[in-house]
Each structure stands twice: as C-alpha cells, then as structure tokens.
Structure 1
C-alpha cells in the first residue's frame, strides 16, 4: 500500500481514535473516578489523558513506513 494512502487512512483513524478515547475517558471519569480520593483522581486523569498516545504512536509508525521497492 502506498504511503500516501496509509497517511489518509491513518489520519481518519487517528481522528476516530481521539474522539472515541475522549468519550470513553469522560465516561470512566464520571462514573468511577469521582468517588476516589483527590490523589488517585489526579493519577487517574493523568493516565486517562495520556494513555491514548500508545495506539496513536503505533498508528503513526505504520503511516510513516516507507513504500516497498519492487526488485
């Protein structure tokens, strides 16, 4: 698959990932995190806010792969 197509697909998937992640994180924060002590709430918000970087990084790595050259 050409890199140009991978970037298009990856961009759409990144936008979808961020929207879905934000909704899931908000649902978790509203349901479970509000009952925790303030220190655990802080840790939970930090984890929920940064954990999306792992799948996004894998997706970006896939998008940036060079094209295969045919021999």
Structure 2
C-alpha cells in the first residue's frame, strides 16, 4: 500500500473515461454499419464481444494506477 497520494489515480480515471468514451463512439459509429444485415443472434455475439473486450487491459491499467508499474 502506498504512503502518499499520487497523481496517477486521478489521471488514470480521466484516461479511462476518455478511452472508454472514444471506444464506445467508435463501436457505436462503425459496428452497426457492418452487422445491420446479420441475424440477431450473430449481432448479439458481436456486441457481447465488444462489450467485454475492453476489460482485458483493465487489470494492468488499474495495477499501474495503484503501483506505478505495468506488471
């Protein structure tokens, strides 16, 4: 546990919000054009995939916010 507050946490939260906003806008803008003619279950699978894929880098990002190291 850290002894002193750092600027990584507020910067990390702002970066996370900005990154997720950009990600959501890109997905909302381009994916519907591609999958609009697909079957409903296929569209569901695509949106589930994109809805969960952003979680992959989250562990390392939160670790960096807390410790300052990417490992």
Question: Is the aligned partner of 1:20 residue 2:22?
Answer: yes
- Structure 1 consecutive aligned stretches of length 4 or more whose deviation exceeds 3 Å: none
Give the CA RMSD over aligned residues: 2.2
**TM norm structure 2:** 0.75
The structure that is helix-richer by fraction is 1
Aligned length: 66
Question: 1:1-44, CA deviations, whole angstroms, 9 ceiling, x for partnerless residues?
Answer: x7621112211110111101110111233211212111210100
Q: What TM-score comes out, normalization by structure 1 length? A: 0.75
Q: Which runs of 5+ in 1 are unaligned?
A: 67-71
Give how far 1:51 is off.
1.0
More contact order relative to length (CA 8 Å, sep ≥ 6): 1
